[in-house]
Amino acid sequence: TWSWLALSRSALDSLFLCVSHFGSVSLCLCLGKAGQFFSSGHTNNWAVLVCTSRFWFNYRHVANTLSVYRSVKRLGIPDSHIVLMLADDMACNHRNPKPATVFSHKNMELNVYGDDVEVDYRGYEVTVENFLRVLTGRLPPSTPRSKRLLSDDRSNVLIYLTGHGGNGFLKFQDSEEISNVELADAFEQMWQKRRYNEVLFIIDTCQGASMYERFYSPNLLALASSQVGEDSLSHQPDLAIGVHLMDRYTFYLLEFLEDIHPASQANMKDLFKVCPKSQCVSTPGHRTDLFQRDPGSVLITDFFGSVRKVEITMESVNLTSPIVLVPHPPTSIFLQKPKQRDWHPPDGFILGLWTLIILIFFKTYGIKHLKHIF
């Protein structure tokens, strides 16, 4: 049976090879499934995850964002490609009975905070202006790499927003709003500069569907947790922590994502079915008319994971010249002893200052106090 299995395996491999080979001389493309290399058209993945509310009772929004962050990291996107914006620090909030943790399931089953969270924009840095600057790339030149969205025309970007919203706006930090027109304009500016190949936009707020109504740039796929006029509800409170831990849509989204692994073949149609009305109470919506591919052929890992395309290197350059020895400057380590400073009497300025102070003192209070000094 062993040899039969090996034979059938090699037959299958040669079948893939036949299907995938297109006569190029020096390349051999590695294909898991024939055509997968070309179907998505992206070479790297980015994620922008934003939680826009502050205050302790909005614990669930931070937990939402952190659970998406956790799934995205688990499926392979590295921290350098994730821009995480959290408007408040729940893990170190003084009302948190379990500090340094943020739970998503009641009875504290799953700590989504973990010990390797990298928050790029924290607290008051999460503003509409910074969010739009990250998306459009108009950041001041001193901004470090970790705070920038350095996507190119072959990047698939996942954008997740959560917080309190309304019909056509999303509230930031309880003090300002971003409107759906501004968001659509930001995406159009990203498209003009080819800063994305495809965008998956997920929003978990009340009346979330209004936020993607005004999109007009191509290659955008949008999901929302509720339609206009509906509220997105929270899932379950935890009696020990005292607040609601997660929102319903993201809770079921997290459950769905926990079943996905990097080689999974689940597609977007499954994602559209997450959290039906019976579980979510609100009606999740999606918008696919601006998206060029059929959602049934889009893998979840195209946006949530980071599956790299690899090619085997067939050639190597023949190098024969000997290595030039770079002269190293002699490295000397200097041990610095604390310098011995000799004591000098106080110089003129100090003397003058103290004389002035003493004179004024005695002028004010009278000369008779001199006797206490001498």
Partner 1 sequence: MATAEVEKFRGRYAALSVAAVVIMVGIPLWWKTTETYRAWLPYSQIRELDSLQLQLSMEVEVVFSRGTLTPEQQKKVPLSQIREEQHQVNENTRLKYRYETKYRTATVMEEDALGQPSTEDADLSLHRLSESPCGSVVMYVIPQSSTLLPEGVKVYVGQRRTALLRGWEALGGTLKEVLAVLEPQVEQVLRTMSFSHSDITAALGDRIRGSRLSRESLADSMRAFKSSPGYEITFSLLNPDPQSHSLHWDIEGAVQTYIQPLLDKLAPVANHSVDSQILYYAVLGVKPRFNRELSAYTLSAESLAHVINPIEAKLGSNAASSNPVLNFLLYVPDAHHAPLLIQDQGKREVPSNAFHSPRWGGIMVYNVKDQYGPEAEVPVYINIDMARVMGVFLSQLRLMLGVQPTHLAPGFLLQSPGSAGLTDWELDRLQWTRSVENVAMASTTITSLAQLLNQIGNIVINDNIAQQVSSAVTSLQAAVAELEAGNLAFALQYSREAILASERAFFDPSLLHLLYFPDDQKFAIYIPLFLPMCVPILLSLLKMLGEIRRSRAERRAKKD
Considering only 104-112, 176-184, 267-275, 331-339, which stretch makes contact with partner 1 by CB under 8 A?
176-184
Q: Does 340 bind partner 1 (CB under 8 A)?
A: no
Q: Does 289 bind partner 1 (CB under 8 A)?
A: no
Q: Which of 115, 140, 336, 373 binds partner 1 (CB under 8 A)?
A: 140
117 binds partner 1 (CB under 8 A): no
255 binds partner 1 (CB under 8 A): no
Binds partner 1 by CB under 8 A, chosen from 94, 145, 344, 368: 145
Structure-token match 């309190």, residue found:
164
C-alpha gyration radius of the chain: 30
307/77 Cα distance (integer angstroms)? 9
Question: Is residue 153 at the binding interface for partner 1, with CB under 8 A as the rule?
Answer: yes
Question: Where do the H-state alpha helices sit in 21-109?
Answer: 36-40, 59-74
Residue with Cβ nearer partner 1 (147 or 286): 147
CA distance 101 to 82: 20
- Active-site annotation, residues: 164, 206
Q: How far apart are CA 204 and CA 202, in angstroms?
A: 7
166 binds partner 1 (CB under 8 A): no
Q: In this structure, what are the phi and psi dihedrals at residue 83, rounded to the nearest 5 degrees?
A: -110, 110
- In whole angstroms, how close is the CB of 81 to partner 1 at the nearest point? 9
Q: Among 20, 111, 227, 264, indicate the residue that binds partner 1 (CB under 8 A).
A: 20
Report the alpha-carbon distance of residue 214 to residue 131 in Å, rounded: 18
Using CA atoms, how far residue 119 sits from 70, 133, 150, 276, in Å, is 12, 17, 17, 31
Binding of residue 148 to partner 1 (CB under 8 A): yes
Tokens 């090699």 -> residue: 10
Which of 152, 213, 255, 270 binds partner 1 (CB under 8 A)? It is 152
Residues with Cβ within 8 Å of residue 211, at least 6 apart in sequence: 161, 165, 168, 169, 170, 180, 183, 203, 205, 224
Query: Least distance (Å) from partner 1 to the CB of residue 338?
Result: 34
**Distance between CA atoms of residues 305 and 217, nearest Å:** 24
Q: Which stretch binds partner 1 (CB under 8 A): 233-241, 248-256, 283-291, 304-312?
A: 304-312
- Candidates 6-14, 119-127, 205-213, 234-242 — which segment interacts with partner 1 by CB under 8 A? 6-14
User: Which residues 74-93 are close enough to bind partner 1 by CB under 8 A?
Assistant: 76-80
Q: Which is nearer to partner 1, 43 or 227 (CB)?
A: 43
Check residue 307 for interaction with partner 1 (CB under 8 A): yes
Please choose, from the candidates 216, 218, 214, 246, the residue with its C-alpha nearest in 3D space to the C-alpha of residue 233: 246
Q: What is the DSSP letter of 210?
A: G
**112's tokens:** 């989504």
Binding to partner 1 by residue 335, rule CB under 8 A?
no
Among 2, 4, 22, 374, binds partner 1 (CB under 8 A): 22
Query: Is residue 101 within the footprint of partner 1 (CB under 8 A)?
Result: no
Segment contacting partner 1 (CB under 8 A): 139-147, 238-246, 331-339, 364-372?
139-147
Q: Does 30 bind partner 1 (CB under 8 A)?
A: yes
CA–CA separation, 264 and 303 (whole Å): 12
Q: Does 31 bind partner 1 (CB under 8 A)?
A: yes
| 371 token code pair | 């006797």
**Out of 65, 71, 136, 250, the residue judged to bind partner 1 by CB under 8 A:** 136
CB 60, CB 104: distance < 8 Å? no
Q: Kindly state whether residue 361 participates in binding partner 1, applying the rule CB under 8 A.
A: no
